Structure 1
Amino acid sequence: MTFFNLEKLQDAQKANLDLLQQISGKIFASVEQLTQLQIKTLKASTEEQFDGFRKLLAVRDPQGFAELQASFTQPNVQAERLAEFNRQVQALIVGTQSEIAKLATHQVEVGTKQVQEFVEVISKNAPAGSEPVVAAFKSSLANAGTVFESAQKAVKQAADVAQSSFDAATATATAATGKAAPETGKATSGNK
């Protein structure tokens, strides 16, 4: 008599391999999206630079140069672009993390069920007098499940706090650059 069902063991190995493939796919897709975002941002920045050079070459007098210089020093525009880029990257990271967490949680649930089935088989076939050991093993298994659930909740709370902190920092930075923009405008208009 054997406690191990080789077919179930092979199925578990196949499931783990499938999980690894799914996680790899999610990571590669996220890296691809991040690369596309970076290329899009770099392309827009390059176009903006060339547009600035074209405007600079078109300047004919000091007044035009001063106006052009003032248009380049708009911190709120740059800060908003950076904040938007960071928001998109953050959303990509959070989305990928969430998808991977769902896959891992499902796999843990399946694994837990398999372990519970194994424990039941052992407990049915255990010799007389071993009930306390089997009960302790079952209790340990239940405690491990509780610890895993607590860890999942803590990770989710930490992710929520990090997202809230990121959102608050972005809002603060955007508000600060919004206040700085009028001051910059006053400084440049005083220099004309």
Structure 2
Amino acid sequence: MSFFNSEKLQDAQKANLDLLQQISGKIFSSVEQLSQLQFKTLQASTEEQFEGFRKLLSVRDPQGFAELQASFIQPNVQAERLADYNRQVQALIVDTHSEIAKLTSRQVEAGTQQVREFVDVISKNAPAGSEPVVAGFKSSLANAGAVFESAQKAVKQAADVAQSNFDAATAAVGKTAAGGKADSK
């Protein structure tokens, strides 16, 4: 009797190839979204610069120049734009990470199930006296699963901490920008 099943190996290889294709697709999609965000931000910044030049060219007296100069040094507007850009980039990163984690988790679960089935087949056909070895192998498999779950939880917690730190920093920038508005009035 053979423990090797070529159909299962082929199915596993196809599943791994599909996973790789899905991850690549998600990464390419995320890079495309980031590029679009950067392009829109650059375009808006360029338009703002040209509008600033137009305003500068339309100044006719020192009072108008002073008002124009004051409008350019509004840190709250710049800080809010930067915070908005960073929020969008952070959301893109979190979404990409989440999707890839889901894809890989499903694949790991499927692979773990295949290994369990293989161990069951081996344990049913193992010679007498090999029960301790099979039990040790099953125990190792269970421990590996627990380590994987712990690693997933740690990564999720780290992502949550990073997100909350980012949210706190964004809120602080928003408060600073709001304080700048109050000071300029």
The aligned residue for residue 190 of structure 1 is none
Taking the aligned partners of 1:159 and 1:169, their CA distance within structure 2 comes to 15
Displacement of 1:93 after TM fit?
A: 0.4
Matches within 5 A, 1:122-137: 122-137=122-137
Q: Quick check: 1:15 aligned with 2:15?
A: yes
Separation of aligned partners in 1, 2:48 and 2:25: 34
Q: Match of 1:129, SS?
A: coil
> Pairwise mapping of residues 34-49 of structure 1 onto structure 2 (< 5 A)?
34-49=34-49
Specify the SS of the correspondent of 2:158.
Answer: helix
Q: Which residue of 2 aligns with 1:24?
A: 24
Percent of matched pairs sharing the same residue = 81
Aligned to 2:94: 94
Deviations 1:50-72 (A, max 9, x none): 00000000000000000000011
Amino acid at match of 2:26: K
Aligned to 2:167: 167
Structure 1 residue aligned with 2:142 = 142
Alignment correspondent of 1:76: 76
For residues 144-159 of structure 1, what are the structure 2 equivalents within 5 Å?
144-159=144-159
Q: CA RMSD in A?
A: 0.9
Give unpaired runs (5+ residues) of structure 1.
187-192
- Offset at residue 2 of structure 1 (A): 1.3
Question: Quick one: distance in 1 between partners of 2:29 and 2:171?
Answer: 29
Aligned length: 185
Q: Which residue of 2 aligns with 1:109?
A: 109
- Displacement after TM superposition at 1:180 (Å): 3.0
What is the DSSP-based 3-state SS (H/G/I as helix, E as strand, rest coil) of the residue aligned with 2:60? coil
**How much has 1:181 moved relative to structure 2?**
3.7
- The amino acid that maps onto 1:149 is E
The TM-score with structure 1 as length reference comes to 0.94
Matched with 1:189 is: none
TM-score (norm 2): 0.98
Which residue of structure 2 aligns with residue 53 of structure 1?
53
Aligned residue type for 2:122? I
